Amino acid sequence: MTTPTISTLRCSCAASADANVDGFLECLKQDSSISSLVYTPTNPSYQSVLDFSVRNQRFLSNSTPKPLVIITPEYEHQIPHIINCAKQNQLQIRTRSGGNDFEGRSYASEVPFVIIDLLKLSEVTVDVQQKTAWLGAGATIGVLYYNIAIKSPRLAFPAGFTPTVGVGGHFSGGGWGVLVRKYGLSVDNIIDARIVDVNGKIHDRNSMGEDLFWAITGGGGSSFGVILAWKVRLVDVPERVTVFKINRDSEKNATQLIHRWQYVAPNFEEDLFLRVIATRITTSEGMMTIRATFNSVFLGGIDRLLAVMQEKFPELCLVREECTEMSWIQSILYNSDFPIDSHLNLCLTGFSMM
């Protein structure tokens, strides 16, 4: 098939002085299945729906521009009609897909706009035999991780650390996490997608063409349409991985260790992910100092990890007592600062201690 022209949804639905919210609402009524899914500022649930996935508290202020309308579609076929109504009434569309948009791009704008909130399009279907999964763009990576884990302890997906992150923005922007060294970014493991274009047509990878598919897998999906779902390739992990999270303050050579880490980390074997976070802390004596937190997930057991660290980064002085073996899904919760014995269901709660 021919590749459709790549035009941005934002420009095609650009708001103007002629924006007509009443006309938009009247247009939506032509699809009776949408009526109960529409929230305006006069609706008692409007504010709670708007605030649900806002993670940056400054966007909760009254000075933040608010959407004229929020729509929470339940089915794919409802979205083309919403797009056409927005176009007809000169309203900009913002697409929101579930969480951790700290810049507010999915729920704030300086021009009249409406939000298509995909939180109800969050179903995940895992095929263990094919090592693939389809997931709605309103899912979080925690929901994806949970659905993989209950099907197989030896499958995973390369994505972020925090379960509350929404897959729509995370995937379309790249997607970086603890499996990046072995399996790359999330977008490196996306094999299909479903998207509604600016003309209200639904496409999969075949009908959208490779140019558009390439654009939405790293170029920001909301610029080109409303992404409905992703098909991803799952990856193999051992049943037990090893984690550690240790602090080294300035008094224990934190600065020198950070310097050394920059040289040795690129040469680790691909099963070893090791990051460092530098923070400023106040000691018990009231003095300011630097703390380096070394955080690792290793796709293997403690013995092999210790051997690798002794060979590549002996300066860290890692010891067995600082390491813990656990399942891959437990390592996700561990890296979100939940206790080691946390229940798998925490992946579904939408809350993180970070």
Report pTM. 0.87
The 10 Å CB-count burial string (b at 16+, else e) for 333-349 is bbbbebeeebebebbee
Both tokens of 336, joined, read: 């979100």
Average pLDDT of the segment spanning 196-225:
88
Count of beta carbons in the 10 Å neighbourhood of residue 60 = 11
Residue at a domain's end among 84, 117, 150: 117
Average pLDDT of the segment spanning 130-157:
96
Q: Indicate which CATH number applies to the domain containing 143.
A: 3.30.465.10
Question: Does any domain span residue 193?
Answer: yes
Do 169 and 109 share a domain, yes or no? no
Question: Does any domain span residue 307?
Answer: yes
Question: Does any domain span residue 85?
Answer: yes
Kindly give, in sequence order, each residue whose CB lies less than 8 Å from that of residue 45, ignoring residues fewer than 6 positions away: 39
Do 106 and 128 share a domain, yes or no? no
Q: What is the pLDDT at residue 110?
A: 76
Do 34 and 102 share a domain, yes or no? yes
Percent of the chain with pLDDT over 70: 89
Do 67 and 97 share a domain, yes or no? yes
Do 204 and 163 share a domain, yes or no? yes
Q: Could you tell me the residue range of the domain that residue 165 belongs to?
A: 124-236
* Residue entry with tokens 């099907």: 151
Q: What's the rounded Cα separation, in Å, for the pair 297 and 171?
A: 21
Q: What is the pLDDT at residue 221?
A: 57
Do 262 and 315 share a domain, yes or no? yes
Residue at a domain's end among 117, 138, 157: 117
Question: Does any domain span residue 148?
Answer: yes
* Nearest C-alpha neighbor of 9 from the set 229, 227, 224: 224
* Nearest C-alpha neighbor of 182 from the set 301, 297, 339: 297
Q: Are strands 113-117 and 92-96 parallel, antiparallel or unpaired?
A: parallel
Do 13 and 92 share a domain, yes or no? yes
Q: What's the rounded Cα separation, in Å, for the pair 107 and 101?
A: 9
**HSE-up of residue 345 (Cα within 13 Å, Cβ side):** 0
Q: What is the pLDDT at residue 6?
A: 35
Question: Does any domain span residue 337?
Answer: no
pLDDT, tens digit (0-9, with 9 covering 90-100), for 79-127: 999 999 999 999 999 888 866 666 666 677 778 889 999 999 999 999 9
Whether the per-residue pLDDT at 292 is higher than 90: the answer is yes
Q: Where are the beta strands (DSSP E) in the chain?
A: 38-39, 69-71, 92-96, 113-117, 124-127, 132-136, 155-156, 190-196, 202-203, 226-233, 235-236, 241-249, 272-282, 288-298, 324-326
Question: Does any domain span residue 293?
Answer: yes
Residue 342 one-letter amino acid:
S
Using pLDDT thresholds of 50, 70 and 90, give the confidence band for residue 4: very low
Question: Does any domain span residue 4?
Answer: no
Do 258 and 214 share a domain, yes or no? no
**HSE-up of residue 294 (Cα within 13 Å, Cβ side):** 28
Whether the per-residue pLDDT at 240 is higher than 90: the answer is yes
Do 163 and 224 share a domain, yes or no? yes
* Nearest C-alpha neighbor of 301 from the set 248, 236, 234, 244: 244
Whether the per-residue pLDDT at 149 is higher than 80: the answer is yes
Total structural domains in the chain? 3
SS3 80: helix
Question: Does any domain span residue 351?
Answer: no
Do 88 and 132 share a domain, yes or no? no
Average pLDDT of the segment spanning 166-178:
88
Give the helix, strand, coil percentages of the chain, each rounded to 5.
Answer: 35, 25, 40
Alpha-carbon radius of gyration of the chain: 23
Do 229 and 252 share a domain, yes or no? no
Both tokens of 4, joined, read: 């459709």
* Nearest C-alpha neighbor of 291 from the set 324, 318, 255: 255
Residue 281 DSSP one-character state? E
pLDDT, tens digit (0-9, with 9 covering 90-100), for 305-321: 999 999 999 999 999 99
Whether the per-residue pLDDT at 16 is higher than 80: the answer is no
Do 163 and 263 share a domain, yes or no? no
Residue at a domain's end among 67, 85, 117: 117
* Nearest C-alpha neighbor of 330 from the set 159, 145, 160: 145
Q: What's the rounded Cα separation, in Å, for the pair 52 and 10?
A: 23
Kindly give, in sequence order, each residue whose CB lies less than 8 Å from that of residue 333, ignoring residues fewer than 6 positions away: 163, 342, 344, 346, 347
Using pLDDT thresholds of 50, 70 and 90, give the confidence band for residue 142: very high
Whether the per-residue pLDDT at 54 is higher than 90: the answer is no
Q: Indicate which CATH number applies to the domain containing 76.
A: 3.30.43.10
